[in-house]
């Protein structure tokens, strides 16, 4: 199936590592021009070099930006537009992983922690979408994919649930406003995904439980219908499809890419 992404102009935030980089790799493989966005210039350069090596002749742009700063976001979009004349695809993936630390109990949770999560993920996604919206609506086509997570559908982390539910609400509102102009907006809820951070998570669980790596991984995967942790490439495949013209009929809704969420029914 031709996804029609050849020469598409894409921005991927959080693109220097992890799921963001996997999504960027998937877009480049389809022939898209991809701007990698993150705060760390050195990591961005290394990620871009890796993509160019893997896909000779590909167009990969490095655009350092802080999505908590609106001026930085707008300067990043201006850089992409100056290079390629516009933006067709935005993937918002710049956020701290939900498992970076154990969720705090209510009495220990500070305003600053919640606001930092909200500012990075929800407001950061809003800033980026706002900065590209005029480009997309003027040309009459575009795709925005917001990477959220299964904390939108479960308890256990006050900050994690607030930010992910908010991303879903943001997505639906953007879809309604931008849809008449040909711009689709979706939210993707990954579960636990195998990235370069996963070994740290597994090691922490091993230290806390005394279990072997095999046992810890089996326990983590047991919550999924597939009984395993899914890979970043598996999530990226779904996101790349949602970035394409083939997904024009999907907007405003959430797509879960988590290997199956056992014990729940969503309809």
pLDDT in tens, 116-150: 889 999 999 999 999 999 999 999 999 999 999 98
- Are 115 and 171 part of one and the same domain? yes
- Are 146 and 239 part of one and the same domain? yes
Q: Which pLDDT band, with edges at 50, 70 and 90, does 101 fall under?
A: low
- Are 209 and 120 part of one and the same domain? no
The number of distinct structural domains making up the chain is 2
Q: Check residues 237 and 97 and name the one with the higher pLDDT.
A: 237
Average pLDDT over residues 234-257: 97
pLDDT value of residue 87: 98
List the structure tokens of 245. Answer: 């013209």
Its domain, for residue 129, covers 9-192+232-256
Average pLDDT over residues 79-98: 93
Say whether pLDDT at 219 is over 90: no
By DSSP bridging, strand 142-147 and strand 89-92 are: parallel
CA-based nearest residue to 92, from 150, 44, 164, 8? 164
Contacts of 262 (CB under 8 A, 6+ apart): 222, 223, 224, 225
Distance CA 243, CA 154 (A): 27
264 part of a folded domain: no
pLDDT value of residue 102: 64
pLDDT value of residue 153: 78
Determine contact, residues 80/87, Cβ cutoff 8 Å: yes
- Are 221 and 119 part of one and the same domain? no
41 part of a folded domain: yes
181 φ/ψ sector (left φ>0, alpha ψ -120 to 50, else beta): alpha
- Are 145 and 165 part of one and the same domain? yes
Q: Which pLDDT band, with edges at 50, 70 and 90, does 179 fall under?
A: very high
Taking CA atoms, 193 is separated from 83, 144, 228, in Å, by 33, 21, 10
Q: What is the DSSP string of 169-200?
A: HHHHHHHHHHGGGTEEEEEEEE-SEESTTHHH
pLDDT in tens, 31-56: 999 999 999 999 999 999 999 999 99
pLDDT value of residue 98: 60
- Are 134 and 199 part of one and the same domain? no
- Are 175 and 50 part of one and the same domain? yes
Full-model pTM = 0.93
Over pLDDT 70: what percentage of the chain? Answer: 98
66 part of a folded domain: yes
Determine contact, residues 147/95, Cβ cutoff 8 Å: yes
């Amino acid at each position: 199936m031709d996804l029609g992404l050849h020469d598409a102009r894409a921005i991927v935030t959080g693109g220097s590592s992890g799921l963001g980089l996997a999504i960027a790799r998937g877009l480049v493989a389809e022939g898209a021009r991809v701007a990698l966005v993150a705060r760390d210039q050195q990591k961005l350069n290394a990620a871009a070099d890796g993509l160019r090596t893997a896909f000779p002749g590909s167009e990969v742009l490095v655009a350092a930006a802080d999505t908590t700063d609106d001026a930085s976001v707008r300067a990043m979009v201006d850089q992409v537009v100056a290079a390629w004349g516009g933006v067709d695809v935005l993937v918002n993936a710049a956020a701290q992983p939900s498992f970076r630390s154990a969720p705090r109990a209510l009495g220990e949770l500070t305003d600053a922690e919640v606001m930092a999560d909200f500012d990075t993920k929800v407001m950061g996604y809003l800033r980026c979408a706002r900065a590209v919206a005029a480009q997309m609506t003027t040309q009459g086509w575009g795709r925005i994919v917001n990477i959220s997570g299964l904390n939108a559908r479960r308890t256990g982390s006050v900050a994690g649930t607030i930010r992910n539910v908010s991303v879903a609400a943001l997505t639906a509102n953007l879809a309604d406003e931008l849809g008449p102009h040909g711009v689709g907006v979706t939210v993707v809820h990954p579960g636990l995904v195998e990235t370069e951070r996963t070994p740290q998570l597994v090691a922490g669980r091993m230290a806390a439980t005394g279990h072997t790596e095999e046992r810890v991984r089996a326990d983590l995967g047991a919550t999924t219908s597939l009984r395993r942790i899914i890979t970043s490439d598996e999530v990226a495949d779904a996101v790349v499809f949602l970035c394409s013209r083939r997904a024009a009929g999907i907007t405003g809704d959430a797509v879960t890419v988590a290997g199956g969420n056992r014990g729940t029914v969503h309809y």
